[in-house]
Amino acid sequence: MDIKLNNALTMKKPALKAMRSLAILAFALVSIISCKKSEEQPSEAARLFRPGDISVSAGSTSAKLKWSAPLYSTGKTVSYTIDFSTDSLFSTIKYTGKSDTLGYTVTDDNLATRTKYFARVKANATETQPESKYSVSSSFTLTGIQLFLAVRDNEVKETGATLRYTPTAGLTSIVLTPATGSPITVTLNASDASAGLKAITGLAGATKYTAELFAGTKSKGLTTFTTQAVTNYSVKISPSDDLAATIAAAANGAIIGLNPGTYNLSATTFITQKTITLKSTSGNPSDTKVNYKEFDLEGTGAGVTLSGIEFDGTSNSALYFLNFIGSQASNSSAATFTNVVVDNSIVHGATTSFLRADRGSAASTFKITGITVNNSVVYDMGANGTSAYYTFHLNKLEFATLTVSKSTFYNSGPGLVSASTTLSANMPVVLITNSTFNGYGGNAKYALLDASANPISFTIQNSIIANTPKSGTVNAAALRATGAGSTLVIANSDYFNLNTTPSGGTALTFSTATLTNDQTIDLGWTAATTDFTLPATSPLRTASSTGGPIGDPRWTF
């Protein structure tokens, strides 16, 4: 052999050896990959056999699931297993169902209402195919039936409440769960179910309860309420006792309980430099009545809370219901009052005004933080609109808030709110919500507000305003407020028959107020209407900012 050729072969041997090694390694890798694919084939098939995405349509008592057929299922009979769990990892299965179709309906026979669930679906194994992997749904909830009616404020007491519901055969219990503590089960018999209400006693005061209505194990309604704080009365009296003397002798902070019956205050009642509470022990203004002459809040520290009482000024020829004075010797002297609250009461029969607070010698001579009227009915005030004083006559009163809620006012004065003297404090806030106003106004006043140049924040929402004026005329502008920075809002409310004269005149305007989601549905009321029940089919029953009814809720029960 040629020496050169021999040397060349000798030099190529390492390269050939390396090539052989690479070939062996490549073969080994191919073998490993082939084995790996072979081992994974069952799970790949299971993945391809998995049902398609799940859609869920949930209602009050059932939810319908749908999914698409898996690949490789054409021509095969396929069944499915559906699991339901309250967590997306399905650590605990709450219910399992079977289906031979591409859908399944689950009901409140199997799942609890008002509970979030997830569903997962797998295709079951066939003779030629292993069971599939799972497809998992998004969360869904059975919203449940709602047979509970709205809880009425005046039916929630300190240690009990009356709960109302749609009369339904088969209702068996109400379970009340406090924020802390053990649930309480109240059994319902057939009479309770058909009556549509249950008076519940033995509850804790100042406690929030969640009440759930049941027919057997099925939920038929859910509501919440908070009991009133238990009242520690300083004294309780009866109609045979002297109410005037009791008030005069009461200490600052006293809570005077009035047992059911009728009481008489034939002379002006002075609440002098102290804050007291007059409250019916029953919490029911229909069984506890005070014939009043006038309540005068006198001097610094004077304030009052009135609760659960009917106040009638007719027999004593009352001029005012509440009257602010500096002192008996000098009505105009400076005074800083404590808060005034009128709650769950009926007030009527004053010929001048519901509340007068303009006797101060100058702006800000009188001061108060808050005036509140809640869950009350006020009527026959201000001499059919001919009085010189607004329902809330707050001129020269430096106040932070006036709040009116869940209340009804009719034939209540020549105008609603007057706060027309410039004040030195922060801008006062007037907030009127879920209230009904009808048949008031007159004496050339502004029907809703006269703030003049006094800056003010004024809001009416979820309310109904109808039929002005009661007599005489009102200004064509329903509001006057020209103070810098004033905000005027009327939202989610209904107003109709608001004119300058009882016979029509011109329609009232709302100045610079922002009007939002308001309506002008005529409910057929006149200025003499006293029953303001909303028709069952009225769109105003769902017109509020929360989707509920507008106006005083008492007229929607």
Alpha-carbon dihedral sign for residues 199, 204, 207, 210: negative
For residues 220 and 239, membership in a common domain is answered with no
504 Rama class: left (phi>0) / alpha (psi -120 to 50) / beta: left
> What is the identity of the amino acid at 452?
S
**Same domain, residue pair 371 and 274:** yes
For residue 411, what are the domain limits?
235-485
The three-class DSSP label of residue 367 is: strand
Identify whether residues 343 and 465 lie together within a single domain.
Answer: yes
Same domain membership, residue 268 and residue 195:
no
Q: Could you give the C-alpha distances from 323 to 280, 331, 423, in angstroms and in order?
A: 22, 10, 20
**What residue ranges in 179-251 does DSSP mark as E strands?**
184-187, 197-200, 208-215, 218-226, 235-237
pLDDT at 425: 65
Is 554 within a domain? no
Final residue in a domain of this structure, among 141, 165, 194: 141
User: What's the CA gap between 379 and 5, in Å, rounded?
Assistant: 127
Half-sphere exposure in the Cβ direction for 202 (13 Å, CA): 6
Per-residue confidence at 9, pLDDT binned at 50, 70, 90?
very low
Contact 551, 436 (CB under 8 A): yes
Give yes or no: residues 350 and 254 share one domain: yes
Structure tokens given for 380? 């026959």
What CATH number is associated with residue 205?
2.60.40.10
Q: Could you read off the pLDDT of 110-149 as tens digits, one per residue?
A: 999 999 999 999 999 988 888 999 999 999 999 999 999 9
pLDDT of residue 49: 84
Question: Which residue, among 367, 371, 487, has the nearest Cα to 427 in the 3D structure?
Answer: 487
Condensed to tens digits (0 to 9), the pLDDT of residues 194-239 reads 999 999 999 999 999 999 999 999 999 999 999 999 999 999 999 9
SS3 423: coil
Same domain, 222 and 244: no
pLDDT of residue 25: 47
Query: Which H or E run contains 192?
Result: helix 190-195
Please give the pLDDT value at position 38: 39
Same domain, 296 and 394: yes
> Would 254 be classed as within a structural domain?
yes
Q: At residue 4, does pLDDT exceed 60?
A: no
Rounded to two decimals, what is the model's pTM?
Answer: 0.79
pLDDT for the residue numbered 71: 83
**Domain check: are 245 and 358 in the same one?**
yes
Specify if 527 maps to a domain. no
Out of 199, 226, 253, a domain closes at 226
For 248-343, strand residue ranges (E) read 255-258, 261-264, 269-272, 275-280, 288-291, 295-298, 303-307, 310-312, 318-325, 335-336, 340-343
**Residues 355 and 319: beta-carbon distance below 8 Å:** no
* DSSP-assigned states of every residue in 51-76: ---EEEEE-SSEEEEEEPPPTT-TTS
Residue tagged 């238990």 (tokens): 230
pLDDT the model gives residue 11: 43
Is residue 45 very low, low, confident or very high in pLDDT (cuts 50, 70, 90)? low
H-run or E-run covering 25:
helix 3-48
Longest dimension (CA), the chain: 147
pLDDT of residue 407 exceeding 80, the answer is yes
Whole-number mean pLDDT of the chain? 91
Other Cβ atoms closer than 10 A to 97: 16
- Do 338 and 370 reside in the same domain of the chain? yes
Share of the chain above pLDDT 90, in %: 85
Query: In the predicted model, is pLDDT for residue 19 greater than 70?
Result: no
* pLDDT for position 497: 98
For 265-320, the pLDDT digits (tens) are: 999 999 999 999 999 999 999 999 999 999 999 999 999 999 999 999 999 999 99
Question: CA-to-CA distance for 70 and 58, rounded, in angstroms?
Answer: 24
For residue 512, pLDDT over 70 is answered with yes
pLDDT tier for residue 36 given thresholds of 50, 70 and 90: very low
Question: Among 13-27, 345-359, 472-486, whose mean pLDDT is lowest?
Answer: 13-27
Assign 245 to helix, strand or coil. Answer: helix
Same domain, 373 and 440: yes
Whether pLDDT at 1 is above 90: no
DSSP code of residue 18: H
First to last CA, the chain: 119
- Of 118, 141, 164, which residue constitutes the final position of a domain? 141
Instruction: Tell me the backbone φ, ψ of residue 475, rounded to 5 degrees.
Output: -65, 150
What φ, ψ does residue 393 adopt, rounded to 5°? Answer: -100, 95
Residues 292 and 434 in one domain: yes
**Has residue 146 been placed in a domain?**
no
447 inside domain: yes
Does residue 84 fall inside a structural domain?
Answer: yes
Question: CA angle at residue 385 from 379 to 390, to 5 degrees?
Answer: 80
Q: Are residues 248 and 120 in the same domain?
A: no
Report the number of distinct structural domains present in the chain: 3
98 belongs to a structural domain: yes
Residue 7 lies in a domain: no
Share of the chain above pLDDT 70, in %: 91
Among residues 348, 342, 442, the alpha carbon closest in space to that of 389 is found at 442
pLDDT tens string 347-401: 999 999 999 999 999 888 999 999 999 999 999 999 999 999 999 999 999 999 9
Alpha-carbon distance 128 to 458, whole Å? 75
How do residues 69-97 score in pLDDT, each as one tens digit?
988 777 788 999 999 999 999 999 999 99
Q: Which amino acid is present at 164?
A: R
Predicted confidence at residue 154, as pLDDT, reads 86
Confidence (pLDDT) at 424: 63
Sign of dihedral through CA atoms 404, 410, 412, 416? positive
